[in-house]
């Protein structure tokens, strides 16, 4: 009984934190909009599914019988949403292509499976809910088009496929190697670490949930001690990991910023290296492949080593003069390579620097006025505007 109360409190905490985080994400208006919305969708569906799960475990589903099985098709999209969120963050994607609609297949499969139940009579639905409360296993209670045991196997296959896709994505994007190579205190490394923790945890959860469903299908006596202990581990693991995600993101909102990668650009969902990006000539703009590569290299050095973005009122003509190129050429190359204009890119670097300074305790010794000047902003209003746009909070709130 005590454990039941603890589990209920844990799930309510997850739901509450998820709602707060969803609102925080929805307030964001930066160029990492896609990954933010995918994460918001992931958290929303998990929260809704947890609410319905609470109805089932507490018996309240008998009063809300019309909600039974309504969220399951949606919950089947969670693996796909988590995969797309990770991919869009790592590849810095801003849009989804039509081919990504394949990830809606689990939603379609679940909807087709339970459509006969959705259109069935009220009495039939109430009877099935009573059978569920009386102890029938959820994974063998037939209410859909296919036998529930067969559909449970399909659910396992969906979870396993996405677990493998996430691990393959980590391998292709060399996430572990990147974490090792980046500076220990760097913001980008922290974001990579968050993606690694999120992806690995999601994969473990899907594999474990698949094992739980499989055990329920193979063992008839669902009240056996083994099943109960196994269910206890799964429920604790799943809910604890969700609680970890939400609290982690609330404490470290910079993990939502996305990866600012000056060496790659995403084109049509594919991560392109600079050498590949510049392999073709820019004939319409009079910029050769070699010249474009040299300008990018010099610009990267000025940004990362000289930190020119910290200069107040920096303009593209100032950097162009430093690199001995025309402002028109530099503007064009920056737009093509980074996908944003010069001012947006400079302010993005400035906000990243401000976040790093705050995390190092800068505001414990200095004021906000000193911080915005230190990071190259000309006034506090602009600094607050870009900081809130990027992080969803003010510098003072972020520091707390």
Give the pLDDT score at 30: 60
Tell me which residue has tokens 């929303």. Answer: 44
Q: How many angstroms separate the CA atoms of 400 and 397, rounded?
A: 5
Structure tokens at 377: 């902003």
Local structure of 12: helix, strand or coil: helix
pLDDT at 162: 96
For 98-145, give the DSSP string. GGGGGGGHHHHHHHHHHHHHHTS-HHHHHHHHHHHHTT--TTT---SS
356 in Cβ contact with 310 (< 8 Å): no
Side-chain-side CA neighbours of 322 within 13 Å: the count stands at: 17
Asked if 250 contacts 21 with a C-beta cutoff of 8 angstroms, the reply is: yes
CATH number attached to the domain at 2-256: 1.20.1070.10
Residue 338: exposed, middle, or buried by beta-carbon count in 10 A (0-12, 13-18, 19+)?
Answer: buried
CA distance 96 to 98: 7
Residue 156 neighbours by CB distance under 10 Å: 20
User: For each successive 10 residues of the chain (400 residues), what is the average pLDDT?
Assistant: 74 86 75 83 90 86 90 93 92 84 95 94 92 75 89 94 94 85 68 86 85 77 65 75 77 68 40 40 54 78 84 87 85 77 87 86 88 89 85 82
The separation between the first and the last C-alpha atoms of the chain, rounded to the nearest angstrom, is 37
Amino acid 142: pLDDT: 87
pLDDT of residue 22: 86
Which stretches of the chain are DSSP H helices?
2-26, 33-58, 72-75, 78-90, 105-118, 122-133, 148-172, 175-181, 187-218, 225-251, 274-277, 289-304, 316-323, 327-338, 342-359, 368-374, 380-391, 395-399
pLDDT of residue 29: 59
Q: Is the dihedral of CA 296, 301, 306, 309 positive or negative?
A: positive
Nearest CA to 339 out of 110, 31, 70 is that of: 31
pLDDT at 107 (0 to 100):
96
pLDDT of residue 222: 52
Q: What CATH code is assigned to 264-399?
A: 1.10.10.60
Q: pLDDT at position 167, please? A: 93
Query: Which residues, 6+ apart, have CB-to-CB distance to 187 below 8 Å?
Result: 254, 257, 352, 355, 356, 359
Any idea where the domains of the chain sit in the sequence? 2-256, 264-399
Residue 221's Cβ-count burial label (10 Å; 0-12, 13-18, 19+) is exposed
- What pLDDT score was predicted for residue 25? 81
The answer to whether 33 and 94 are in contact (CB under 8 A) is: yes
């Amino acid at each position: 009984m005590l454990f039941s109360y603890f589990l209920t409190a844990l799930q309510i905490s997850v739901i509450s934190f998820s709602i707060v985080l969803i609102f925080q994400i929805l307030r964001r208006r930066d160029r990492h909009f896609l990954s933010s919305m995918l994460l918001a969708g992931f958290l929303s569906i998990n929260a809704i599914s947890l609410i319905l799960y609470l109805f089932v475990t507490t018996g309240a589903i008998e009063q809300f019988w019309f909600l039974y099985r309504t969220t399951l098709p949606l919950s089947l999209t969670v693996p796909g949403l988590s995969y797309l969120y990770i991919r869009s963050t790592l590849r810095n994607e801003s849009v989804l292509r039509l081919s990504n609609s394949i990830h809606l297949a689990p939603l379609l499969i679940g909807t087709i499976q339970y459509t006969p139940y959705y259109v069935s009579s009220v009495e039939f639905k109430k009877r099935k809910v009573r059978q569920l409360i009386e102890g029938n296993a959820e994974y063998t209670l037939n209410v859909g088009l296919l036998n529930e045991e067969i559909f449970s196997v399909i659910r396992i296959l969906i979870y396993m496929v996405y677990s493998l896709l996430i691990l393959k994505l980590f391998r292709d994007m060399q996430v572990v190697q990147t974490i090792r190579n980046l500076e220990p205190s760097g913001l980008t490394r922290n974001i990579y670490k968050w993606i690694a923790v999120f992806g690995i945890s999601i994969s473990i959860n899907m594999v474990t949930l698949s094992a739980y469903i499989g055990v329920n299908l193979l063992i008839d006596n669902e009240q056996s001690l083994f099943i109960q202990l196994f269910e206890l581990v799964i429920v604790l693991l799943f809910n604890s990991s969700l609680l970890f995600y939400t609290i982690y993101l609330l404490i470290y909102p910079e993990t939502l910023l996305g990866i600012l990668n000056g060496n790659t650009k995403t084109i049509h969902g594919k991560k392109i290296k600079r050498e590949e990006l510049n392999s073709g000539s820019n004939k319409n703009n009079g910029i050769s492949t070699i010249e474009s590569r040299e300008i990018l290299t010099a610009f990267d050095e000025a940004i990362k080593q000289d930190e020119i973005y910290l200069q107040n009122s920096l303009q593209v003509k100032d950097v162009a003069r430093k690199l001995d190129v025309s402002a028109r050429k530099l503007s064009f190359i920056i737009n093509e390579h980074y996908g944003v204009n010069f001012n947006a890119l400079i302010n993005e670097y400035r906000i990243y620097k401000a976040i790093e300074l705050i995390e190092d305790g800068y505001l414990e010794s200095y004021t906000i006025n000193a911080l915005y000047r230190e990071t190259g902003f000309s006034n506090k209003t602009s600094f607050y505007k870009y900081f809130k746009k990027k992080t969803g909070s003010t510098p003072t709130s972020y520091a707390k």
